[in-house]
Amino acid sequence: MKNHVQWESSLFELIRRTSVDLPCDIEQGLRRACKTEKKASRARWILETLLENVQKARDKDAPLCQDTGSLIFYFQVPVGFDTNALVSATRLAVARATRLGYLRQNTIDSVSGAACATNVAYGAPTFYFEQCARGTVDVRLLMKGGGCENVGKQYSLPDESLGAGRDLEGVRRCVLDAVISAQGNGCAPGILGVCIGGDRATGYECSKSQFLRKLDDKSSVKILARLEDRLLKESKALEIGPMGLGGNAALLGIKIGSMSRVPASFFVTVSYMCWAFRRRGAVLTVRGGFKKWLY
Ligand code: SF4
């Protein structure tokens, strides 16, 4: 791949923007949630504080949260594109963003406990590649916080304790259980990504990929779109609220996808993304030049 410098520069800008600038759809979601809370309530105060934080991060060009999370890159590339070179350029961009403070030194060796100075290590960042019949490189980035990662859950149906069978009512019970178990931990209000089916690994991959959808996006599968709406209403009625301190807005959205499964397994996987919903994307030329933002 030629123009290594151009690639690194475009990918660095993607990381910087993702770290400091909350996407417009999420900020609007926070504003809408704020209006639903009673004036002078704790819930409203929390949401107003979060919105102030969003503006300050943008103005000061500083990370939205001290936990800059795990970096997950999703690339769509033309057929035959050199993805190894893309990995190298992305790693350089991650190291530079860490050096300049847009990313915290957030990567720990799981055996020794040693911190990694660059955030470039085995499994960090994470990459997904898809070859498509196109003449551009589309890249999307999620920065997934650790606190919200901790409250993700996976269920194997049937689950007697929840009265959850292998059907959409069973899925509904699992999602509500995940919301109740989280109790606002993981820095609510957040967004749930849900996968019905898959295996234990692909279930989590699919549930996280739901975060690439915009907040107002509805599932193209009508029955899932209805379930998304219903679960969002039901989660509000639980009155868990921002940070679990009471109110309507424990969640801003729920996105449900599905995968095929084998007859013996029926997994429901719930991933949670906090209010610091760092998701950005860009369309780049095959030489790494910037064309447009995706969010
Ligand atoms: S869960 Fe999100 S908002 Fe909370 S500390 Fe982690 S990254 Fe920050």
Per-residue model confidence as pLDDT tens digits over 18-64: 999 999 999 999 999 999 999 999 999 999 999 999 999 999 999 99
Q: How far is CA 145 from the centre of its chain?
A: 8
Strand order from edge to edge, sheet including 190-196: 153-156, 267-273, 190-196, 251-258
Distance 79 CA to ligand 1 centre (A): 37
Give the closest residue to 176 by CA, choosing from 220, 210, 227. 227
What percentage of the chain reaches a pLDDT higher than 70? 99
Percent composition of the chain: helix, strand, coil (DSSP 3-state, to 5):
40, 25, 35
Quick one: average pLDDT of 138-167? 98
Distance 133 CA to ligand 1 centre (A): 37
Give the closest residue to 50 by CA, choosing from 235, 293, 245, 181. 245
Beta bridge partners of 164: 159
Distance (Å, whole) CA 138 – CA 111: 35
Distance (Å, whole) CA 278 – CA 185: 18
145 lines ligand 1 (CB under 6 A): yes
Give the closest residue to 10 by CA, choosing from 124, 121, 141. 141
> Does 191 have pLDDT greater than 80?
yes
Q: Is 271 left (phi over 0), alpha (psi -120 to 50) or beta?
A: beta
What percentage of the chain reaches a pLDDT higher than 90? 98
Distance 159 CA to ligand 1 centre (A): 30
Digit-coded pLDDT (tens) for 85-109: 999 999 999 999 999 999 999 999 9
> Does 174 have pLDDT greater than 70?
yes
| The two three-digit tokens of residue 6, written as one number | 């151009």
- Give, using CA atoms, the residue closest to atom 4 of ligand 1: 187
Instruction: Report cis status (omega within 30 of 0) of the bond before 189.
Output: yes
Distance (Å, whole) CA 165 – CA 145: 31
pLDDT, residue 3, reads 74
Are 253 and 191 in contact, with CB atoms under 8 Å apart?
A: yes
pTM: 0.96
pLDDT, residue 2, reads 64
Query: pLDDT grade, residue 4 (50/70/90)?
Result: confident
Close Cβ partners of 173 (under 8 Å, ≥ 6 residues apart): 159, 162, 163, 164
Backbone angles phi, psi at 163, to 5 degrees: 65, 35
Beta bridge partners of 273: 191
- CA 187 to ligand 1: nearest atom: 4
> Does 149 have pLDDT greater than 90?
yes
Are 294 and 282 in contact, with CB atoms under 8 Å apart?
A: yes
179 lines ligand 1 (CB under 6 A): no
Distance 66 CA to ligand 1 centre (A): 8
Distance 237 CA to ligand 1 centre (A): 24
Distance (Å, whole) CA 227 – CA 132: 31
pLDDT, residue 267, reads 98
pLDDT, residue 1, reads 64
pLDDT, residue 284, reads 97
Architecture in CATH for domain 4-19+64-145+278-293: 2-Layer Sandwich (3.30)
246 lines ligand 1 (CB under 6 A): no
Domain ranges across the chain: 4-19+64-145+278-293, 147-273
For residue 201, the SS3 value is helix
Quick one: average pLDDT of 112-131? 97
274 lines ligand 1 (CB under 6 A): yes
- Determine how β-strand 107-108 pairs with β-strand 115-116: antiparallel
Distance 110 CA to ligand 1 centre (A): 20
- CA 66 to ligand 1: nearest atom: 8
Q: Is 253 left (phi over 0), alpha (psi -120 to 50) or beta?
A: beta
